[in-house]
Amino acid sequence: MTVVAGASPAATLKSLATVRERCRNITAAVAAGASPHFALERDRLAVAADRTAAITRERYPTLDVPGHSRWRHFEAGGVDRRKALDRALDGAGTADIARAEIDLAVVSVLLDAGAGPRWRYVEADTGLSLARSEGLAIATLRAFLSGAFSARRAEPCRVDAEALIALDVDRMARVFQATPDNPLVGLEGRVALMQRLGRVLADPAHFGYAARPGVLFDALTEDGARSSIGAADIVAALLDRLGPIWLTRRTVAGAPLGDTWPHPHAGGSGESAGLVPFHKLTQWLAYSLFEPFQSAGVPVLDTDALTALPEYRNGGLLLDTGVLALRDPAAATRTHPVGSELVVEWRALTVTLIDELAPLVRARLGRPAMPLAAILEGGTWAAGRRIAETLRGGAPPLTIDSDGTVF
Predicted local confidence at residue 163, as pLDDT: 96
Going 211 to 216 to 221 to 222, the CA torsion angle's sign is positive
Predicted local confidence at residue 390, as pLDDT: 96
Mean pLDDT for 34-62 is 98
For the entire predicted model, the pTM comes to 0.92
pLDDT tens for each residue of 258-298: 899 999 999 999 999 999 999 998 999 999 999 999 999 99
Q: What is the dihedral of CA 243, 245, 250, 252, to 10 degrees?
A: 30
Contact 234, 286 (CB under 8 A): yes
Mean pLDDT for 224-245 is 92
Calculate helix-pair angle for 187-201, 231-242, nearest 10 degrees: 90
Predicted local confidence at residue 256, as pLDDT: 75
Contacts of 231 (CB under 8 A, 6+ apart): 286, 290, 300, 301, 302, 303, 304, 305, 306
The helix (run of H) or strand (run of E) holding residue 251 is strand 251-252
Q: Is 340 left (phi over 0), alpha (psi -120 to 50) or beta?
A: beta
Whole-angstrom Cα distance, residue 60 to residue 215? 34
Mean pLDDT for 169-175 is 95
What is the overall mean pLDDT for the chain? 93
Concatenate the DSSP letters of all residues of 158-223 into one string: ---HHHHHT--HHHHHHHHT-BTTB--TTHHHHHHHHHHHHHHHT-HHHHTTT-STTHHHHHHTTT
Mean pLDDT for 385-389 is 95
Does residue 76 register a pLDDT over 70?
Answer: yes
Question: Per-residue confidence at 404, pLDDT binned at 50, 70, 90?
Answer: low
Predicted local confidence at residue 297, as pLDDT: 96
Whole-angstrom Cα distance, residue 29 to residue 264? 10
Does residue 115 register a pLDDT over 90?
Answer: no
Q: How far apart are the first and last CA of the chain?
A: 26
Angle value at C-alpha 150, between 146 and 156, nearest 5 degrees: 45
Which one has a higher pLDDT value, 242 or 38? Answer: 38
Predicted local confidence at residue 407, as pLDDT: 61
pLDDT tens for each residue of 323-372: 999 999 999 999 999 999 999 999 999 999 999 999 999 999 999 999 99
Predicted local confidence at residue 405, as pLDDT: 65
pLDDT tens for each residue of 149-160: 999 989 999 999
For residue 256, what are the β-bridge partners? 251
Which one has a higher pLDDT value, 264 or 241? Answer: 264
Calculate helix-pair angle for 16-31, 341-365, nearest 10 degrees: 100
